[in-house]
Amino acid sequence: MKETLRSAAWLLRMSWTQNRLKTGIALVLILSNALAAPLMALSMKWLTNDALAGDAAGAGIAGFAVAACVIGVLTLGHFAHMAYFELSEMNQLDAEERIIALANGSAGIEHQERADVADKLAVLEQEIQQIQAGFYAVLALSSLAVAIGLTGILLALVNPILLLLPLVALPPLFTGRRAQLIIDKSRDETAQDTRLAMHLFRLATGAGPAKELRVFRLQTELKRRHAELWERTTRTLWRAQIKATAYRAAGQLVFAGGYVAGVMIVVNDAIGGHRSIGDVVLAITLAAQVNQQISAAVSLLHDLQRIARAYARFEWLEKYVAEREPTQADHPVPERLHDGIHFNDVAFKYPGTDRVILAGVNLHLPAGSTVAIVGENGAGKSTLVKLLCRFYEPTAGTITADGSDMARIPLDKWRERIATGFQDFARFEFVARQTVGVGDLPFVDDQAAVEGALERAHATDVIGRLKLGLSTQLGKSYTEGTELSGGQWQKLALGRAMMRELPLVLILDEPTSALDAEAEHNLFERYAEGARRVGAATGGITVLVSHRFSTVRMADQIVVVADGKVAEAGSHQQLMKNRGLYAELYELQASAYE
């Protein structure tokens, strides 16, 4: 219950922050609506007694009071809807923005790569869609609390024993909470299957996979797997719903017995002449209202408890991200590199796993040099890149830039001085200029800066084929948007990586995977020429990552990674002379192109 109350306070704070006036209006109207129903029952008592006593004037006034209360019951809640509906949408937008901030505003990417955290995020994304119902539940439960309080007072005036009626409403509340816990547990249990089913749905309906689905005749297979996942999920959820329904029904039966007993007490008093007919009408009406109030409370608590679970996940995620914030930074980022970057006995394993990805890595990336990192898939190349970008910190050892521990350099300042191009690049469906320009946000709309970046990336041919050039809207999310080929998107991503003209570190992590080996080699040759310019200006280091040994011969230093360790490092000539792993794999790959 404490968690539920905290989530209610959270929603009210959100609404108050969004618009105080509308929040106040919604509360006043919904609370007035709560008073209208019990007062209507009281007016009906007066109307009944005055009518039986022949008091026409009193009966008329009571009739107007009944009518006014009925109008209040029917309209005040509707007007409250007008105030809180917009607030609910604003709250949902705010919550979604907070999820985006939590997912992307942290120092690293651990919480986006761990499956257990991904499951929690998937459930949170679903639950947050219920925030509108949650805010309504907060207002309606506040209204019910007032209504139940006034109803209790009126019941006590009829017969103090009737005060027990709200008590018999406790079992439905308890069983309702228990039922919700059962359902929440089932949602957690099915989170992974739900996430996989959604992934299959996106595969089956997206334009990208459509060609492979048809060629490999995978439509039926995807449908089968999708149906299997949803069948398993539905079966688990259905069992939980049946169990939850049984709990709720048991609680409602307890209340129904108490309701019948309360009405019989008042009827018996009236037969004995101790109560008026109006008291009987009042008691029956109030008892019926109590039944409606409790039923509504159980239903509303169901919605609020779902939001409470979402709120708990919010708190968990906020704490999770906060605990992984970088340590105190007290070293400035170098203006230029003089010595370079050193890996000193660096080891790394991904959080939540025992598998060692890197072990005992000692490596020097000289200032102003072009360094190629090569190795077979899974060797640890991309992990080295993640450490350079500080998506993760080493499990052991240190990485230094000109002698300064990179963990002590302000993260935002470090990332301002690096540029990256990844194999799994993002497809920003913006205007083409901005798709490239976001690589250096202050110059996102700078035509000259974007054109210069595309020149350095040797990607100007893509813009030349667009109808409106850099002003072309990209992506099928827009009706008039232009879709690009995979290679064209990749070239724009390379342009984005070149927006920062003088980075301390430029990382190109297999950014030309769509090209053949010879084309990749030629492109890397041109990038190496640009790297020498950057190196002379800032001591900047260009890091080229590839699994193709034959494409990086021009690099000043080639680092061969195998089984999480640096197997050897040196120039192409040195490594070929050493006749080690590099020479063996180089000749093996080269023979495939002869």
Three-class secondary structure of residue 208 per DSSP: coil
Q: Count of residues for the chain? A: 594
Task: Using alpha carbons, list the distances in angstroms from residue 439 to 442, 450, 458, 495.
Answer: 9, 9, 16, 8
Predicted pLDDT of residue 76: 79
Tens-of-pLDDT digits for all 594 residues of the chain?
Answer: 666 777 777 777 777 777 788 788 888 888 888 788 888 888 887 888 778 778 888 878 878 888 888 888 877 776 776 666 777 777 777 777 777 777 776 677 776 777 777 777 777 777 776 676 667 777 777 777 788 778 777 777 777 777 676 677 778 777 877 887 888 888 888 888 888 888 888 888 876 677 677 766 778 888 888 899 889 999 998 999 999 889 888 887 887 777 777 767 766 766 766 677 777 777 777 777 776 777 677 677 777 777 777 777 777 877 877 776 766 677 888 889 999 999 999 999 888 788 889 999 999 999 999 999 998 888 888 899 999 999 888 999 999 999 999 988 988 889 899 998 888 888 888 999 999 999 999 999 999 999 999 998 888 989 988 889 999 999 887 778 888 888 888 889 989 999 998 899 999 888 766 566 666 666 777 777 777 888 888 899 999 888 777 678 888 999 999 988 999 999 999 999 999 888 888 888 766 555
- Output DSSP code: residue 482: B
Q: Which residues contact 552 (CB under 8 A, 6 or more apart)?
A: 372, 374, 521, 524, 544, 546, 558, 572
Q: d(Cα 486, Cα 489) in Å, to the nearest integer?
A: 5
Distance of CA 174 to the CA centre of its chain: 31
Predicted pLDDT of residue 568: 92
Q: How many CB atoms lie within 10 A of CB 62?
A: 22
Backbone angle region of 464, left / alpha / beta, with phi > 0 → left and psi within -120 to 50 → alpha: alpha
Q: Residue 507 is which amino acid? A: I
Give the tokens for residue 533. Answer: 């310019």
Q: d(Cα 536, Cα 382) in Å, to the nearest integer?
A: 27
Q: How many CB atoms lie within 10 A of CB 531?
A: 25
Predicted pLDDT of residue 542: 92
Single out the residue of 346, 478, 329 nearest to residue 408, CA to CA: 329
Q: d(Cα 253, Cα 63) in Å, to the nearest integer?
A: 35
Backbone φ and ψ for 451, nearest 5 degrees, come out as -65, -40
Q: What is the DSSP string of 140-194?
A: HHHHHHHHHHHHHHHHHHH-GGGGHHHHTTHHHHHHHHHHHHHHHHHHHHTHHHH
Predicted pLDDT of residue 367: 94
Q: Residue 538 is which amino acid? A: T
> What DSSP element (H or E) covers 368?
none
Residue in this structure with the two tokens 């009405």, named with its chain if needed: 263
Residue in this structure with the two tokens 């050493």, named with its chain if needed: 578
Q: d(Cα 171, Cα 253) in Å, to the nearest integer?
A: 9
Predicted pLDDT of residue 179: 86
Predicted pLDDT of residue 446: 94
Predicted pLDDT of residue 171: 81
Give the tokens for residue 335. Answer: 């203006």
Three-class secondary structure of residue 399 per DSSP: strand
Single out the residue of 382, 384, 406, 397 nearest to residue 326, CA to CA: 406
